[in-house]
Amino acid sequence: MFDDFFIRALVAGIGVAFVTGPLGCFVIWRRLSYFGDTLSHSALLGVTMAYSFEFNIAISVFIISSVIALILIQLQKKTNLPGDALLGLLAHSSLAVGLVVIGFLTFIRFDIMGLLFGDILAVTVNDIIIIWAGGALILLVLKLIWKPLFASTVNYELAEAEGLNPDRAKAIFTILMAAIIAISIKMVGLLLITGMLIIPAAMARNISDTPQKMVLFSIIGGLLSVIIGLFSSLEFNTASGPSIITASLVLFILSLLKIKQSIQLKN
Partner 1 sequence: MTSNNKMLVKLKNAGYQQNDKWLVKGVSLEVEKGKIVTLIGPNGSGKSTTAKIALGIYKKIDGEVEKYTNKIGYVPQKVSIDWTLPLRVSDFMVLTENLKDDAIDEALSLTGVVHLKNKNLGNLSGGEFQRVLLARAISKKPDLLVLDEPVQGVDFTGEIALYELIKKISEELNCGILLISHDLHTVMSATDHVVCLNGHVCCSGSPSDVAKNNEYKALFGEQAAQTLSIYEHNHDHVHSHEGEIKKN
Residues interacting with partner 1, by CB under 8 A? 28-29, 31, 147, 150-151, 153-155, 157-164, 205, 208-211, 213-214
Sequence-distant (≥ 6) Cβ neighbours of residue 201 within 8 angstroms: 21, 24, 25, 27, 28, 214, 218, 221
Number of helical H runs and strand E runs in the chain:
11, 0
Closest distance of CB 138 from partner 1, Å: 21
Angle at 235 between CA 229 and CA 239, to 5 degrees: 55
**Closest to 198 measured CA to CA, from 19, 18, 38, 28:** 28
Closest distance of CB 150 from partner 1, Å: 7
Nearer to partner 1, 92 or 260 (CB): 260
User: How far is 119 from 32, CA to CA, in rounded Å?
Assistant: 26
- Say if residues 121 and 5 touch (Cβ distance below 8 Å): yes
Closest distance of CB 149 from partner 1, Å: 12
Nearer to partner 1, 142 or 226 (CB): 142
Closest distance of CB 160 from partner 1, Å: 5
Cα distances from 8 to residues 16, 78, 94, in angstroms, run 12, 45, 30
Closest distance of CB 19 from partner 1, Å: 20
Nearer to partner 1, 190 or 215 (CB): 215
Closest distance of CB 212 from partner 1, Å: 8
Nearer to partner 1, 105 or 154 (CB): 154
Nearer to partner 1, 80 or 264 (CB): 80
**Closest to 249 measured CA to CA, from 230, 221, 219, 227:** 221
Nearer to partner 1, 80 or 106 (CB): 80
User: How far is 204 from 25, CA to CA, in rounded Å?
Assistant: 8
Angle at 168 between CA 93 and CA 24, to 5 degrees: 60
